[in-house]
Structure 1
Amino acid sequence: MMQVRDLTVQYGKSFAVKGVSFDAEAGNILSLIGPNGSGKSSVLKSIVGLVKPVQGKIEFREKEEGNFNSKIGYMPQAPLFPKNVKVSELVDFLKRLETSDPKEFQELFDLLGLKDYENVKFGSLSGGTKQKVNILQCFSIRKPVYIVDEPTASLDPYISNLLKEILLRKKKEGALLVFSTHILNEVEEIADRFLLMSEGSLLIDDSPQNFVKSRDKGNLQNTLMEFWNSEYLEKR
């Protein structure tokens, strides 16, 4: 289990996250949604250790000995590999970086269709192909937790669907997956719970199915629009 308590992130004089608390269980998929600037990425980066909160704590129960950050797979929104490094060189580096199952690694490499790009420098790849490399570096090694920021950005429908299958497979293996997205049908398809954030605050913590059923609006997008217009904006 991951427990986040009173998480507060500040950049200069501005608060990006304001006292956010939630729990997340292993074997579950948790989605963070909300407008741009709502604090989603700051929450994810705090979990990974890339941002130091000014207040609050993040704890992992039943964790293994050692630095837990090394047990987290992280897929940032924009991969930052050196532009002049070939895909084949990145693959060799990833294989040496941590112990991986060679068969599992090769299977994911093949599924992503990266063989055709082995001799291409990372900086010359399209945005979608860069994201495929990003998927490979995150999911080629088994981890207890995966943090994924805007996972389907720049991906074609085939790879987007493949990534959803990867997330569901990791869930079945018992991993905790936390991902942010603007695509609400992804949340309905695969998320066990979602957190709606706005201006650094947590507004809703619920399952997509329960939230939609409680308001009888057909789907998550319509239900959130009703909440946003009739409850949230009116109370501001």
Structure 2
Amino acid sequence: MSDRLAAELHEVSKRYPGGVTAVDRLSLRVREGEVLGFLGPNGAGKTTTMRMLVGLVHPSAGRIQVLGEPPGRQLARIGALIESPTFYPHLTGRDNLRLAARYAGVPDAAADRVLDEVGLTARARSPFRTYSLGMKQRLGVAAALLKEPSLLILDEPTNGLDPAGVAEMRELLRSLGRHGQTVLLSSHVLAEVEQVCDRIAVIDRGRLVAEGTPDELRGALGAGVLLIDADPTDTALTCLRADDRVRAVEVVDGTLRVSTDLALAAELNRRLVTAGVEVRELRPLRHSLEEAFLELTAPTAPVPVPEQPEAQHATTGAAR
């Protein structure tokens, strides 16, 4: 992963008529060569953000750079699947891609290459209207790959795929990441994001609420908490509560959740064993990515309020 940026949004907002704010002063960086997961509940502003990155929607405020240019200036180096893919229904999958290739200025042979990459070669001669939802998604991803883009923007690429198709798409995304492709991936399949993405950005109500590696997001919610499976539980509780370095102890599903400095784990284990407690498990608590996502985007979760800038940045895309 490079320190150079494939895309950057700085204090970007998008307001629609009627007072609807889809994106609210969002700052986000996509590094070259990384696969960045872009998560958020429905209506969080993910698709609007992606549409702004490719120049389909102009921001109301803020600054956007994509591959060193304002949005829309580098479309020859960008591949995108945003919302539902649309093709000519009477044309075959191959003919649709060949037509797209000619518009993009790439050889017809690229169509066969990407059909193979997304596993559609066997249905290449079938009309698009006969495709299932999952096959339509695959063809949309294939079209996004035609130009071998420097930046690939994918909005829910596994929508409609069966479990085998999800696994194949996941392997494709992994392959792109291994070859240094920059990918911005929006998905509700958290297992896919966890296994594929180098970093994750979570937005809620149009604002960035968390950013980091999957491990960092999982660990943040359980920071400073030990999970201890001990018997007898009552003796363990008494022992731990007597230690003034333990901030809190609670029993959840038969195991202890101990709020303390994680560096004290070995010492607390010794104290429990000395007190006659059998310690069957002792480890730092790590939430699943799903638990982290749900807590970060809960209706009662606070949304960070950005500091007021000294001066409003001009919108780079709106002047075109």
Task: Classify the TM-score, shorter chain.
Answer: 0.7 to 0.9
Letter matched to residue 286 of structure 2: K
2:11 maps to what in 1? 6
CA distance in 1, matches of 2:102, 2:297: 48
1:144 maps to what in 2? 150
- Farther off after superposition, 79-88 or 197-206: 79-88
C-alpha spacing 1:7/1:139, structure 2 compared with 1 (3 Å) = same
Deviation at 1:76, TM superposition (A): 2.0
**Contact 1:32–1:181 (CA under 8 A) maintained in structure 2:** yes
1:99 maps to 2:168:
no
Deviation at 1:204, TM superposition (A): 0.9
Deviation at 1:112, TM superposition (A): 3.6
SS of 2:300's equivalent in the other structure is helix
2:195 maps to what in 1? 189
2:169 maps to what in 1? 163
C-alpha spacing 1:18/1:227, structure 2 compared with 1 (3 Å) = closer
Letter matched to residue 152 of structure 1: T
**Structure 1 length-normalised TM:** 0.87
1:153 maps to what in 2? 159
1:233 maps to what in 2? 300
1:199 maps to 2:205:
yes
C-alpha spacing 1:191/1:118, structure 2 compared with 1 (3 Å) = closer
- Farther off after superposition, 41-50 or 193-202: 193-202
1:177 maps to what in 2? 183
C-alpha spacing 1:100/1:172, structure 2 compared with 1 (3 Å) = farther
Deviation at 1:101, TM superposition (A): 8.9
1:36 maps to what in 2? 42
CA distance in 1, matches of 2:56, 2:67: 21
Deviation at 1:94, TM superposition (A): 3.1
1:218 maps to 2:305:
no
Deviation at 1:111, TM superposition (A): 4.6
- Specify the structure having the higher radius of gyration (Cα): 2
SS of 1:233's equivalent in the other structure is coil
Name structure 2 gaps, 5 residues minimum: 223-284, 304-320
Question: Could you report, residue by residue, the CA deviation over 1:163-220 in whole angstroms, capped at 9, with x for unpaired residues?
Answer: 2222222223322110111111112111111111111111111211112123233311
SS of 2:148's equivalent in the other structure is coil
Letter matched to residue 81 of structure 2: M
**Contact 1:84–1:121 (CA under 8 A) maintained in structure 2:** yes
- Show the 5 A alignment for 1:15-164: 15-60=21-66, 67-97=73-103, 98-100=105-107, 102=109, 105-164=111-170
CA distance in 2, matches of 1:128, 1:62: 34
**Across the two proteins, how many residue pairs are aligned to each other?**
231
- Farther off after superposition, 179-188 or 213-222: 213-222
Between the aligned residues of both structures, percent identity stands at 25
CA distance in 2, matches of 1:61, 1:73: 12
**Contact 1:33–1:196 (CA under 8 A) maintained in structure 2:** yes
**Structure 2 length-normalised TM:** 0.66
C-alpha spacing 1:115/1:212, structure 2 compared with 1 (3 Å) = closer
Letter matched to residue 93 of structure 2: V
SS of 1:73's equivalent in the other structure is strand
CA distance in 1, matches of 2:55, 2:182: 17
**Contact 1:78–1:131 (CA under 8 A) maintained in structure 2:** yes
CA distance in 2, matches of 1:141, 1:135: 12
Letter matched to residue 166 of structure 2: S
Question: Could you report, residue by residue, the CA deviation over 1:12-51 in whole angstroms, capped at 9, with x for unpaired residues?
Answer: 1211000000111111011111111010000111001111
Letter matched to residue 15 of structure 2: Q
Question: Could you report, residue by residue, the CA deviation over 1:64-90 in whole angstroms, capped at 9, with x for unpaired residues?
Answer: xx9312211001231011223222321
